[in-house]
Amino acid sequence: MREVINHYDSLIDENNDPVLDLSPLKEYMNKWDGQAFINELQLTANKTVLEIGVGTGRLALKVCGKCKSFVGIDISTKPIARAKQNLKSFDNIILICDNFMSYVFDSKFDVIYSSLTFMHIQEKQMAITKVASLLNTNGRFVLSIDKNQSKIIDMGNRKIKIFPDTIEQIKKCIITAGLQIEKLFETEFATIFVVVKENKF
């Protein structure tokens, strides 16, 4: 996990902040989690939201103004510090620098989402079971997983081990966690899971 933290901290040191990207690069990132991804969150002014892997706030900028409250968690210190700058115009946010897998949340959420983060999590079932425990009844979980099955992020000067997600693996984890898949669709670079926590009574 230390190499992941160092990688994302290094990106900030290299002045690599997706929030500051020019339009062509922003359009490129949208190939994983563009407007179709945001639409599936079904945001409203009374909903509470959690982003797993908030980074510098690239997606949060599209979300914070459309919900009651927003919590973003990320394991890397420098991206969280940058997110605080990028999101300073919002007064309904809490940003947490910690490991999602071990952090103890004191509330549940109506919407949880994550993009390009689960590839860093080896314990997929544990992560999705935790998501299920944090969702309110009728809550939504929207997850973008990379189609690329490489086990390494190769930055040239550094290589980061990852744990690529497969559709069947994530499907199984979702069902085992007691959640229901409402929709599954593809973008150019990703597969998007739209998941709900239904009232079983």
135 closest CA partner among 48, 44, 193, 60 = 48
What is the full DSSP assignment across the chain?
A: -HHHHHHHHHHHHTT--GGG--HHHHHHHHHHH-HHHHHTT---TT-EEEEES-TTSTTHHHHGGGSSEEEEEES-HHHHHHHHHHTTT-SSEEEEES-TTT---SS-EEEEEEES-GGG-S-HHHHHHHHHHHEEEEEEEEEEEES---SEEE-SS-EEE-----HHHHHHHHHHTT-EEEEEEE-SSEEEEEEE-----
pLDDT (tens, 9 = 90+) of the chain, 201 residues, equals: 778 888 788 888 888 888 877 787 788 888 889 999 999 999 999 999 999 999 999 999 999 999 999 999 999 999 999 999 999 999 999 999 999 999 999 999 999 999 999 999 999 999 999 999 999 999 999 999 999 888 988 777 788 899 999 999 999 999 999 999 999 999 999 999 999 998 765
The structure tokens 């210190």 sit at 77
Q: How many CA within 13 A on the CB side of residue 119?
A: 19
* In the chain, domain spans: 2-196
Q: Under CATH, which architecture does the 2-196 domain have? A: 3-Layer(aba) Sandwich (3.40)
